[in-house]
Structures are given as structure tokens and as C-alpha cells.
Amino acid sequence: MNQPVTVSRDADVAVITLDNPPVNALSFHLRAPLMTALETLRDDDTVKAMVLTCAGRTFVAGADITEFGKPMQRPDLRDLIATLEKIEKPTVAAIHGTALGGGLELALGCHFRVAVKEARLGLPEVKLGLLPGAGGTVRLPYILGPRKALKVIVSGTPIGAGEALQGGLVDALHDGELVANAVAFARAKVAEGGPFKAVRDRRERIEEADLAAFDADAAELAKKARGLEAPVACAQSVRNAITLPFDEALAKERDFFVHLVSGEQSRAQRHLFFAEREAAKVAGVGKDVKPREIRRAGIIGAGTMGGGIAMSFVNGGIPVTLLEMSKEALDRGLATIEKNYAISVSRGSLAEDAKTKRMAMFTGTTDYADLADCDIIIEAVFEDMDVKKDVFGKLDKIAKAGAILASNTSYLDVDQIAAITARPQDVVGLHFFSPANVMKLLEIVRGKKTAPDVLATALAVAKRIAKVPVVVGVCHGFVGNRMLAARSADSEDLLLEGASPAEVDKSFTDFGWPMGPFQMADLAGLDIGWRNRKSLGKTAAIADPLCEQGRFGQKTGKGYYLYENGRTPKNDPEVEKLIEEKARERGIERREISAEEITERSLYPMINEGARILEEGIAARASDIDIVWVNGYGFPVGKGGPMFWAEAHGLKKIVERLDHWHTRTGKAVFEPAPLLRRLAASGGSFAELREAAA
């Protein structure tokens, strides 16, 4: 068992090494010996300077998130930093990997910070529904200035060591031996002589701060918070660093932290943090299953999905061969990709030379034979089984042995597609979400014959292209789209019985969704659903007549809403009139429909379908379903995902209301799944399924 804290000496410089794998989280068993080391070295006159470093792949990646919600054992992180900051001999944090959250706060307790060039530094607490709780919202503004610090803290996105150096957060960058360089840096400071200023005493950036400009930035950021408390608390706490004395601002930061850490939103977002990591652990695909090597990817189809998928691979450093049926279609697809990169360059999120490098990683072709050297080939062609089978038939002939053949189908039976080939073990579904170069979610569809190393490869590729993977089984619409169908199964009746599209959408945005179902349908295009219904011989009371009038949504300037200028939806009395007419035709007496009823008739059936999906083993864990919905469908992170929210909301109440609507409507989507009924009756939780499965 490794020592969490070891102290070594390089003559008069003491080196404290923290070692708490895998990410040196500041658990109590690290904090206690660290406090002892700090106090001992502080009082040892033979020690002229101290260096703080970490063993393993990264500097401290934060407080130990698993300790939140439990009584905090002292010394806590603030005690450590308070002791560190009072040490008069120079203290230097030597940073590699990531210095995140409490890890960066600890480093800000030192006089100096040195780092390797690849290091990343940040305060991602806002992503856990928290704010930095050990001085980060006060000390970082002292170093970077309030406006820059506000951006770093409210985005939660780490900055690179180069940017940190420019901002004064890091004092030196090193290529070679980090600790040796840090010791040399410390010794040089000793030679320069003190006093050495603690961060809390460096007020220059605070005194020159432009409060009005800061408030304008904060107001902009608050607009994007969409009901999340943490971003607003972060901004207020950074503002306190400008307006209040250091210790007062620190105390207020603590109050915010204590409030947030015991709140529902942070509990939900911490659930998602661990759920995302759990989702990558797949039964039968242990660490012993080696992924196949992926040097080049082939993408079939350069349309919206194919182009976005291709960009994800190139952004992840994997060169792409992009195939289209015709040169025109290929050129159109590549031009769209180039335009997307140009937009990123114009926004400053991509350098011009990086764009050039990325465009050079695309090879266009209209010849299937050019895919023969690809290690993975993903088709993103028209969502039709015959078309998919035709493509896989061709792929089976040209793809090299061991190549992974993947379908981006969003609904269809991957086993049927695999059966077309002589290598079903190499076939997997990779369901990306539009826009594929932006959306984080990747539903990995495991076929009956998909080999474990194909799944291991898909999981490894997902990490390389910065996607959040969830492995799901084969069924119509997999996890996300299947539940989406249940969520909208009753939406037309809600309109016929009295709700307006705007009322339904408002209940969703009030809940925290970025957009409601009718605005979403207008964005996606009503004609897609219309074509689908016609092919299945199905009808829709409202959507069909809207489509017959050419109201396909944003793309035709009107759908459920009117779009006079671009994307802003406007209520259209024509639509209201059509709904009233269709209701009259069906003898439906229209009435007031509350937001609560809308939630019951849309979210409850969706959760119910989630329970069916768990019963069938299509999803391994309820938390996987939460990850699908938060990363693929905009389910509000502050609510933790549909299954987490359902438990917090009360399974008993949900089952009672499902029974009510099942009786009222006779619709199958409202008939409670046996699992849901059982857990509601026993007061059980979805988590117990996981334990049972483990």
C-alpha cells in the first residue's frame, strides 16, 4: 500500500509528494498526513523552501467527491490551505496532468506554481452543482483578475498551462524533469530572498477591476444558467472578491458552498459524474479485453450526420476516408465541413492552422474500394433497412479482416444488419446525435454477436473522439428514441384536450429543458415524422394536417409556430384554430390543462418506458439511462436524468398517476411497468438493480 504523503529532501529544499491513485483526490487519509508534513517542514529551519507535487498521472484533481454529503473530517481543505498560506519560506506547487478544483485551490495556497506544458488547470465545481469551496472564487480573481476568473469558474472548463502562464496563474513552464525544475525554481526564490507574497496579499488585479464590466459579464452568464443555482453563486462569490475584504469574501464563499452541497441540484450532478464513469464499465468487457487499433476511419455518407461524425473523428486525431455516391455530394459534404471549421476559427475556438491541419485529414472518395484500409467504417446513410443492408453487403466484401463495421442507425435492428455479413461479430451500432460534432452522447448498440473487443474498441474510440458512451441492447429506437416516443405518445391528445403548443413547451422549459417538444419538432422538421407515419400506415390528428399545409417547421417558416425571422417561434392563431377544429371533429370538450398534468402525461410514460428498458436489459443501469438523456436529449442536469429525478420525485406518486391515466386513456404507455410498480410498493430504488446485477 503506497504512502499517501512522503517527504524527501534535496538539500535545503523539501519535496512533499502526494500519492492517492487514481487522481490524487484530497481524501481525508491524504489531508491528515499532509497537514502534519506542512507543519513539520514549516517549523524545520533546515528547510529553506518546499515543493508540493503528486505521484501518478496527475496533480490533485480535486476534493474527494465521494466525501460530499458526509460529515467532513478535519483537517479539511481550508485548514490545509490556511496553514500553507501562512508559511513564510517559498512554497512551490509542481503541476502535471490536471490541477482541478480543490487541487488548484491547494496550489493557490502556495506562493508559486510551475507546470509542464501539457498541464491543465481549472475549477470545474460548477459541473457538480457547486462552487469552489476552498477559496478558489477569491484567490483565482486575485491572480487572473475577476473577469477572466469568472469565465474559468462559471464555464468549469480547465485552461492550458500556456494560457495560465500568460494570465500569471503559473509562474514557469517546464519540459523536462518537473520536480527537479521546481526545486531549482524554489532555490532561486530563496536566493532572491523574501518576503514572499501569498496570493491573498496580491490585490493589484482586484484594485484595477472594472466592476461595471464584470457585472455585465456576470449578467450574460446568468442568462445561460437556466435555473441552475451554482453558476449564479459562482458569479456572486467572485464579485465578493472585488467588493469585500479577503476573509469576508472567503466566509461568504463557504456559505454558498454549504448551501449548494446539500441541495438537490448538486446531488443530481454528482450522480451524473459517477454515472458517466459507471456507464463505461460494461459487463463482459473488462480491462483484460484489448481494443483493436484504430488508425483510420471510413465514413459512408457526407450529409449532416456523416459530416458531423467525420469531424468528430478528425477532431479526435483519427484521419477519415469520406465516401459519397457522387462527386457533387462529396464536394458539398466537404464544403460544409470546411464551413463549420471556418465558423470555429471566426469564433476564436480554433486556430487557422489547426483548421488547415484538420481539413488535410479528410480523404474524399466515391469508390468503396478506398475504404479497404480503414480500421472502422461507419455508415450514415438513409434510415431504411434495405439501404443499410445493401451498404453492409458491399462493406462485407471490401473491408479488411478485423475492421469494425458500424451503423449510425437511430432505430433499426442491428442484428438484422449484421446478419447480412459473414462477420456479425465485427458489427456494432454507433448511434450519434445531431449535430454529431457537438453532441456528447454515443449510444453503442451491442448486437447478439458483437464481439467483446469490438465493444472495447467502441468505448476506447468514444473517449478519443470526446463522446460519452452508453452501451445499449437492440430494440426499436434503443434507449433514447424509444423513451422519446413514449414521451410524445400523448402530446397530440394534450393539444386536442386544451393545451396549446406554447403551454406544453413552457412546462418543459420551466422544468429546465432547453426546448419543448413542439419547438423541437419544428427544429427537426415535421416532414420526417410524417414520412415515417405514412410508411407505417399511422396518422396524427394535428401533425398530419399541418404537414399537408406544407408547415414542416423552421425550414418552411411555419410548423406548430410561425417563424417570421429565423428561429424565434411565434404563436400562430391558424394552428390554434386547426387544433380546435380537430377537437370539435372528435367531440372533445377542450379545458384548462395544468403544467403538472403535462408533466404526468409526458415525463411519467417516458420514465415508465425506462423501467421496461431496464426489465429487458436493454440498458444495464438506470444511471445509464440518465446519461443518455442528459447528453443526448437535453434533460436538465440539475435534475440528474429521468430515472434519478423519478426517484427524487417519488415512484409511488408516479405509479399512482400512471394508473390514473391508464384508466382514463387506455393507452399502453401509461400501464406501469412491473419493475416500477414493485419499487414503488417496496420503496426500493433503481440502484438496487445494479447491486443485484453486480
Candidate list 85, 88, 118, 125, residue with the active-site label: 125
Which residues, 6 or more positions from 651, have their beta carbon under 8 angstroms from its beta carbon? 676, 679, 680
Q: CA 284, CA 293: separation in Å to the nearest integer? A: 19
Kindly write down the DSSP assignment for every residue of 366-389, as one continuous string. S-GGGGTT-SEEEE---S-HHHHH
Least gap, CB of 120 to ligand T1G (angstroms): 8
**Residues, the chain, total?**
694
Question: What x-and-dash track marks residues 507-536 binding ligand T1G by CB under 6 A?
Answer: ------------------------------
CB nearer to ligand T1G: pick between 269 and 321: 269
Hey, what amino acid is at 655? V
Question: What x-and-dash track marks residues 235-274 binding ligand T1G by CB under 6 A?
Answer: ---------------------------------------x
CB nearer to ligand T1G: pick between 66 and 571: 66
Least gap, CB of 578 to ligand T1G (angstroms): 49
Residues 194-223 that bind ligand T1G (CB under 6 A): none
Packing angle of the helix pair 595-615, 622-632 (nearest 10 deg): 130
Least gap, CB of 177 to ligand T1G (angstroms): 23
DSSP 8-state symbol, 193: -
Q: Is residue 25 within the footprint of ligand T1G (CB under 6 A)? A: yes
CB nearer to ligand T1G: pick between 135 and 516: 135
Least gap, CB of 209 to ligand T1G (angstroms): 22
Least gap, CB of 625 to ligand T1G (angstroms): 18
**Among candidate residues 42, 50, 53, the one with its CA nearest the CA of residue 19:** 53
Matching residue, cell 380537430: 582
239 touches 232 (CB < 8 A) = no
Helix, strand, coil percentages for the chain (3-state, nearest 5): 55, 10, 35
Residues 306-365 that bind ligand T1G (CB under 6 A): none
Least gap, CB of 273 to ligand T1G (angstroms): 7
Which of 7, 13, 23, 138 touches ligand T1G (CB under 6 A)? 23
Question: Residues in contact with ligand T1G, total (CB under 6 A)?
Answer: 26
Interface region with ligand T1G, contact rule CB under 6 A, candidates 17-25, 196-204, 342-350, 616-624: 17-25
The 10 Å CB-count burial string (b at 16+, else e) for 424-444 is bebbbbbbbbeebbebebbbb
CB nearer to ligand T1G: pick between 230 and 494: 230
CB nearer to ligand T1G: pick between 464 and 662: 464
Q: Is residue 673 within the footprint of ligand T1G (CB under 6 A)? A: no
276 touches 386 (CB < 8 A) = no
CB nearer to ligand T1G: pick between 462 and 521: 462
Q: Is residue 22 within the footprint of ligand T1G (CB under 6 A)? A: yes
CB nearer to ligand T1G: pick between 159 and 186: 159
* Strands lying side by side in the sheet with 98-100: 98-100, 120-122, 159-160
CB nearer to ligand T1G: pick between 270 and 446: 270
**Among candidate residues 610, 613, 606, 614, the one with its CA nearest the CA of residue 690:** 614
**Annotated catalytic residue 574:** no
Least gap, CB of 58 to ligand T1G (angstroms): 6
Residues 41-80 that bind ligand T1G (CB under 6 A): 58, 61-66, 77
Least gap, CB of 96 to ligand T1G (angstroms): 12
Q: Is residue 109 within the footprint of ligand T1G (CB under 6 A)? A: no
Q: CA 162, CA 55: separation in Å to the nearest integer? A: 22
CB nearer to ligand T1G: pick between 98 and 407: 98
**Which sign does the torsion angle of CA 137, 139, 142, 145 carry?**
negative
Q: Is residue 287 within the footprint of ligand T1G (CB under 6 A)? A: no
Residues 81-100 that bind ligand T1G (CB under 6 A): 98, 100
Q: Is residue 587 within the footprint of ligand T1G (CB under 6 A)? A: no
25 touches 64 (CB < 8 A) = yes
CA end-to-end distance (rounded Å), the chain: 26
Strands 297-300 and 172-174 come out as unpaired
Least gap, CB of 115 to ligand T1G (angstroms): 15
Candidate list 85, 105, 253, 497, residue with the active-site label: 105
Interface region with ligand T1G, contact rule CB under 6 A, candidates 19-27, 185-193, 499-507, 579-587: 19-27
CB nearer to ligand T1G: pick between 232 and 515: 232
CB nearer to ligand T1G: pick between 81 and 619: 81
Alpha carbon separation from 264 to 259, 351, 502 (Å, rounded): 10, 40, 28
Question: What x-and-dash track marks residues 112-151 binding ligand T1G by CB under 6 A?
Answer: ------------xx--x-x-xxx-x---------------
Least gap, CB of 366 to ligand T1G (angstroms): 39
**Among candidate residues 49, 46, 19, 47, the one with its CA nearest the CA of residue 33:** 19
Strands 404-407 and 376-379 come out as parallel
Least gap, CB of 280 to ligand T1G (angstroms): 7
DSSP 8-state symbol, 619: B
Q: Is residue 277 within the footprint of ligand T1G (CB under 6 A)? A: yes
**Annotated catalytic residue 125:** yes
Please calculate the CA angle 29-32-36 and round it to the nearest 5 degrees: 140
HEC letters along 29-81:
HHHHHHHHHHHHHHCCCCCCEEEEEECCCCCCCCECHHHCCCCCCCCCHHHHH
Alpha carbon separation from 300 to 128, 183, 197, 358, 392 (Å, rounded): 38, 54, 59, 19, 11
Q: Is residue 102 within the footprint of ligand T1G (CB under 6 A)? A: yes
Q: CA 59, CA 626: separation in Å to the nearest integer? A: 30
CB nearer to ligand T1G: pick between 149 and 299: 149
595 touches 507 (CB < 8 A) = yes
Least gap, CB of 271 to ligand T1G (angstroms): 12
Label residue 645 exposed, middle or buried (CB < 10 Å: 0-12, 13-18, 19+): buried
Residue positions annotated with a catalytic role: 105, 125
Give the interface with ligand T1G as residue ranges (CB under 6 A): 22-23, 25, 58, 61-66, 77, 98, 100-102, 105, 124-125, 128, 130, 132-134, 136, 274, 277
